[in-house]
Amino acid sequence: MTLTPEKTICVFCGSSFGNDPKFAKHAKELGSKIALKNWGLVYGGGTTGLMGSVAKSCSEKNGYVHGIIPNALVSRERIDPEKLNQSLKNDIDNHNGWTPISDEYGKSTIVPDMHTRKRLMGEEADAFIALPGGYGTLEEIMEVITWSQLGIHSKPIIFFNIDGFYDDLLIFLQKSIKSGFISEKNGEIIVVGNSTDEVLEKIENYKIPEGRYNLNWENLGTSNGKK
């Protein structure tokens, strides 16, 4: 029986596995430890790649899992997620963007578009973690970073820097700070963890940075996940 979670963590990550088995290993460990802490998981709803790894491992430990997926990405064919995942491990070109959904990966909510998906994930989340991924992962985590900078929310944002995956991005962000495009204070919105335990500890001990914009979003008709 799944317990009501004490907090819900939004995880952004790839719908593919990448070419290093460490990525899936850490994704599974993260999902399991989220459940063991009686935290919940909200994610992009896929059953493939790292998305599927983190969701299934959390669900297998009786953790709360909520996948939110746009209608266009849901496979209309009867595809075994395990067979598709095995295929993806060998060849990323087999991934056409569609994904099957399954109760083994938690409950699913199908939404009409990407904007609705991100809004609902942001509203449910108490913190955000970025595992390795591609364009979509980067776009999603950068948006919630921007929301924090603008004062839309004050939730922890953690990069899970598995085997230095995000090193080059972090160098770019430091360059943006040195070049005067991001303030030193706003650079503290992002926290980095190099192991599952460190990532979860960073969430628990996250300190809201000073210097973020103090804007009033209450009259816009949407909170974008403000809390």
Task: Tell me the Ramachandran region of residue 50: left when phi exceeds 0, alpha when psi lies from -120 to 50, beta otherwise.
Answer: alpha
Domain 8-204 belongs to what topology?
Rossmann fold (3.40.50)
Two tokens, residue 153: 């929310």
If you average pLDDT over residues 103-115, what whole number do you get? 93
Return all residues near 67 (Cβ < 8 A) that are at least 6 apart. 42, 43, 44, 45, 46, 55, 101, 105, 106, 107, 108, 109
Span of 167-181, 192-206, 212-226 with lowest mean pLDDT: 212-226
The share of the chain scoring above pLDDT 70, in percent, equals 85
Identify the band that residue 118 occupies on the pLDDT scale cut at 50, 70 and 90.
Answer: very high
The conformation of residue 99, written as its DSSP 8-state character, comes to B
67: tokens are: 């996948």
Give CA–CA dist 23/46, Å, rounded.
16
Q: What is the pLDDT of residues 128-182, one digit of tens each?
A: 999 999 999 999 999 999 999 999 999 999 999 999 999 999 999 999 999 999 9
Place of tokens 């929301």: 147
DSSP alpha helix (H) spans, the chain: 21-36, 49-60, 81-90, 114-124, 135-149, 167-178, 196-204
